[in-house]
Amino acid sequence: MYKKALLINQEGKEFTGWTTEDFRPSTGELIFNTAMTGFVEILSDPSYMNQIITFTSSHIGNYGLSKTDFESERPRVNGAIGTSFTTSPSSWRAEQSITSWLKEYEIPYSGGFDVRSITSYLRDVGSSMFAFGTGLNSSELKELLEKSTNIIGDNSALTAGRSKYDTNSTRNKIGILDLGAKQSIINVIKNFGFECIFVDPKTTAQDIISLELSGLIISNGPGDPRSLINVVDTVRELIGKLPLFGICLGHQILSLACGLNVKKLNFGHHGSNHPVMVSGIKNALITSQNHGFTVEFPENEFEHSNFGKITEYAVNLNDRSNEGISIWESNAYSVQFHPESGPGTTDGLKLFDPFFQMLGSKVGN
């Protein structure tokens, strides 16, 4: 028997869908994702914590779920909505359906939504916090919203990564400052023949330096980068001390550490088809993205008193927003998108090359 699923924000804007499931109500920033594949990677990406995803693709989960596609050990979204979810997948790789996986972890989901209407609304008005549930009326869901964690000021990246960290035998390994790092990043490092170690984001700069790492990746993660004041301070101290590569949230943190500003985008970039022009690469890259904030880069490159020349490394060709910075004199750079291609094309994999090249000429050696 179908039940009404209700999606509502504080202003009273409502969307309805249908579901056969009963689930606990949830709250989160409502966004839309334009990817047509990669649903398992998206749902398990820690960067989507505290968000409710609207999938614009017509059918979600046709090919089911394979654990080899996990970006973390479980779904990390606060909810998933779409036109329809496939309960009986068809693929030789499928180990279970996406719907049974979401139910296992009590993540609410529902089909039957008019995703065109939702997407148009978010593009016109912007993303905002929504409540999502069955069996509750509008007033009850609004009460949940009043107690919810807003995406503005959200510092959940501090706890989005691993709960335990092994700091044995760290010398000459690549460190990952873990703000919710994706498994795909680890896979790339291993495919290049390197070993990696995860670093707790609360670790001080001096302690990170004492690990004698070959280089450090500042990972992706959820929430508002401006709330991670201590992490930004730590990265500022590390610039010029060892090779640094910032990815997504890591890009925003590196930029803040250099004195640049970060602002909230109206509805963000979420999908696997975003064209980006990267300095030194002739052709545009088609990239996978998930971010609601952007770095405000000045019109021209500038000289930092401590770090050297800072240039705009990459630009989004849809809206001209910043997609990366480079500080080559300090062996540091970053990209806003996901170069590890999980999900997405493999266009961005070449963006790891400068980092691996820097490992042979570490700053300070």
Residues marked as catalytic: 248, 338, 340
What CA–CA distance (Å, rounded) separates 316 from 103?
Answer: 36
Instruction: Centre a 10 Å sphere on the Cβ of residue 264 and count the other Cβ atoms it contains.
Output: 15
Angle, CA of 296, 340 and 321, to the nearest 5°: 20
Full strand arrangement of the beta sheet holding 129-134: 14-19, 3-9, 129-134, 26-33, 51-55, 79-81, 109-110
Q: What stretch of H or E contains 7?
A: strand 3-9
In this structure, what DSSP letter does residue 29 have?
E
Residues written for the chain? 365
3-state helix, strand, coil in the chain (%, to 5): 25, 30, 40
Helix ranges, 36-165 (H): 39-43, 98-104, 115-125, 138-146
For strands 285-296 and 302-304, give the pairing: unpaired
What CA–CA distance (Å, rounded) separates 310 from 257?
Answer: 12
